[in-house]
Amino acid sequence: MSRRPRSRRNLRRADSFPVGWAALGGVVLIAIIGGFGWLYLGAVERNPARDPDTLCPQTGPSEQVLVLVDVTDPIGSITQRDILNQLDAVVDGLSKGGRFELRVLEPDDNRTRTIFSACNPGDGSDLDHWTGNPEAARRRWEERFDIPLQAAMDAALHAEQADTSPIMASIQQIAVDRLGTTEARAVPNRLIVISDMLENTAAFSMYRSGPDYPEYTGSRAAGEFGTDLTAAAVEIWLLRRDTQFPSSAVAEFWANWVQDNNGRFVRALQLQGISP
């Protein structure tokens, strides 16, 4: 008995069967490769190459928070605690890859001394075991960023006293060092100055003229200490002292100064407590 020939429909189905599976396998392979590519790119984005010393991304920090502490006069214990609480809140809000730099005012030609400068490497909470090592990231954050920063913030409040208080010169140095580059202009910048804000130099002294802005603009200090704050957001954290100058007048003086030097005056925060 002769074998019955297969129908054309069955023949077509048999012939196309391997081709369909091959196409499906190709789609699956592409999806797998794409998935791994997505995981890799995500891991690179969450873990960019960093400078080994500063922990900043090699492409530059995502933002900058620059803090200047003026302790040329003593700071009371209650005020110190308030400052540390306020700074803790600032650090908590720092983005991953953001630079936090802490400087103290120096009355000599150095103007400022940097006691901490590093970028937040992240505490590993955004990583998993597929895209990174959250435990190692946590240790790095604690050992290289958080613990040194906490020590630096405490040390910043115990510098030596001085007879002069060159606040404008110190801000000028920070602006030149950190705000003038193309890289810095491309990211948000925040400058916090912690001081009684009583400028006291040979070029201009509030102890002689008070917080009189026209008096300042007519002094040589206006030309000597003028700078470009490059639209940075500036905050003044005012130390309360027993002086004849009301805090509102001092804050208004510095609001004018910041605006005239191409900055954005955000606020004047009156710190708690009285310092000697």
- For 186-244, write each residue's pLDDT tens digit: 999 999 999 999 999 999 999 999 999 999 999 999 999 999 999 999 999 999 988 88
Between β-strands 264-270 and 233-238, what pairing exists: parallel, antiparallel or unpaired?
parallel
Confidence of residue 35 (pLDDT cuts 50, 70, 90): very low
Helices and strands in the chain, H and E counts: 10, 6
Q: On the CB side of 252, how many CA atoms lie within 13 Å of its CA?
A: 10
CA distances in angstroms from 250 to 60, 66, 81, 143, 244, listed in the order given? 35, 21, 23, 39, 11
Confidence of residue 21 (pLDDT cuts 50, 70, 90): low
CA 60 and chain centroid, separation: 11
Above pLDDT 70, what percent of the chain?
80
The arithmetic mean of pLDDT across residues 106-113, rounded, is 85
Q: Is 1 exposed, middle or buried (0-12, 13-18, 19+ CB in 10 A)?
A: exposed
pLDDT confidence of residue 39: 41
- Mean residue pLDDT of the chain comes to 85
Q: And the tokens for 236?
A: 């003044």
**pLDDT of 72 over the 80 cut:** yes
**pLDDT of 108 over the 70 cut:** yes
- For 79-100, write each residue's pLDDT tens digit: 999 999 999 999 999 999 999 9
pTM of the predicted model, to two decimals?
Answer: 0.82
- For 245-268, write each residue's pLDDT tens digit: 999 999 999 999 999 999 999 999
What is the radius of gyration, based on Cα positions, of the chain? 29
Q: And the tokens for 169?
A: 């010169």
Domain parsing of the chain, residue ranges? 1-46, 64-270
In this structure, which topology does domain 64-270 adopt according to CATH?
Rossmann fold (3.40.50)
**pLDDT of 45 over the 60 cut:** no
**pLDDT of 50 over the 60 cut:** yes
